[in-house]
Amino acid sequence: MSNETPVEQVWGNCATMRDQLPPMLGWLDSPLLQRLYIQPSICGTPDGNWLIALIETLNIARDGTWLSIACGSGGLELFAAQQQLCATIEGVDIAPRAITLAQHHAHEQGLTQVQFRVQDLEHTRLTPNSYDVILCGMGLHHIRRLEYFYEEAMQALRPNGWLLLNEFVGPSQWQWTDTQLTLANALLAALPERYRMHALEHRPKTTITRPTIDYMNAVDASESIRSAELLPLLQQHFNVVHVREYGGAILHLLLEYIIGNFDPQDAHAVELLQLLIATEQALMQTKLIGSDFAVAAAQNTRQSYRQPYLPFTNEQERHIVRGVYALEQQDTPRPFCWTAAEAEFVLRCPAHARTLSMQVLLPPVERTLTIAVNHTPIGAVRSPALPDPKQWHWQELLFAIPSQLPPQPSITISVDRAWSPAHVLHNADPRELGIAIAQLAYQ
């Protein structure tokens, strides 16, 4: 566990501790709320299921190959397999312990058509033309590099394939609006104490506050990191054909950790919950609040936003796979990035392209730089030792590329050994670097 990243640790802990926690912590954990509010909003019936409803509404064939992202311990994926919604489904997650649990559950249930594996979708290429459906069940709002993921999903889906979402689409990093907080706290104060008992703290819930960004980054830097941008960016990349909003702008904040107090066998609790639902619906109808949760279906149009060049401006998010440090700028000014000892990029390769050009600053020490396209080396350059940094200069490198490349091949840049400015230039920069790069382009 010591080798896990903070995000892997958070979601590994979440998966392994779920059985030890109360069954209803989040507002969506309540079967009563699902019947009274969520499923009627999504499916039009209290006994519906959002995923089955999408399959039936959109006439999606049940013999497809699916990919499910941020699968956790595999509940949604096992459900899809049990309901025979697809021929096969692959679940991927960044947390190894969650994947281990998912594999165990699949083995226990004898479901061989579902497979699970560890994968970081912000730094992984997806195999082109591999899936009929990509499923995002409360996992996409944890992805920071949305442009990169949407581009990869576009390539991985077959023509007219589907991206199916059930997601939190409210304020990024839980930066609730003043209106949300005012309304949620007013309703909380009006609740009898027995309905406000906190499931974990065992005392009444008294206030709802806006967490600081520092707190969000410390607890889980992935939580709703760009949630407010999910649907707008989806509309840029795909043909969105179906959206069902189901609220939560007030009830998510209000009912978190107290939803278990609303016993479906208690008529007063049911009536009170119905009143809270009606209040949120009225507030949404008057446009005082929006919806923080939505189910959506989008079809692949293959209109990629990746370009055949990378100038290292704000467009870098959809091109860089891994191994690149933060954007810097020269006095000239020229934006550029330092790479790690190995970095990977992806550019759209035009059919007429014959060369790959790079504007680079080679290391001031003897290193061998190797360039590969789709893991096939296309060239190498040896940098000389430069004791005086003033001898450094930008240069353009040009390499011939193989013919008949796929539309978006990987470009790998690697040096045989990393170097550190702290050691070579005697400054305070401890990074392990490869080269500086200012432009990458097919010609």
Cα separations (Å) of 124 from 57, 86, 149, 320, 378? 32, 24, 9, 10, 22
More confident residue, 328 or 38: 38
pLDDT (mean) for 289-307: 95
Domain residue ranges of the chain, discontinuous segments joined by +: 6-299, 309-442
pLDDT (mean) for 370-394: 89
pLDDT at 299 over 60: yes
pLDDT in tens, 124-161: 999 999 999 999 999 999 999 999 999 999 999 999 99
More confident residue, 20 or 175: 175
For domain 309-442, the CATH architecture is Sandwich (2.60)
Q: Specify the pTM.
A: 0.93
Per-residue three-class SS string for 144-203: CCHHHHHHHHHHHEEEEEEEEEEEECCCHHHCCCHHHHHHHHHHHHHCCHHHCECCCCCC
Pairing of strands 131-137, 114-118: unpaired
6-299, CATH topology level: Rossmann fold (3.40.50)
d(CA 403, CA 409): 12
Residues β-bridged to residue 377: 372
Q: Which residues contact 315 (CB under 8 A, 6 or more apart)?
A: 307
pLDDT at 278 over 90: yes
Q: What is the pLDDT of residue 7?
A: 77
pLDDT at 1 over 50: no
Q: What is the pLDDT of residue 340?
A: 97
Q: What is the pLDDT of residue 436?
A: 94
pLDDT in tens, 343-361: 999 999 999 999 999 999 9
Q: Average pLDDT, whole number, for the chain? A: 94
pLDDT (mean) for 224-234: 98
pLDDT at 77 over 80: yes
16 — pLDDT class (breaks 50, 70, 90): low
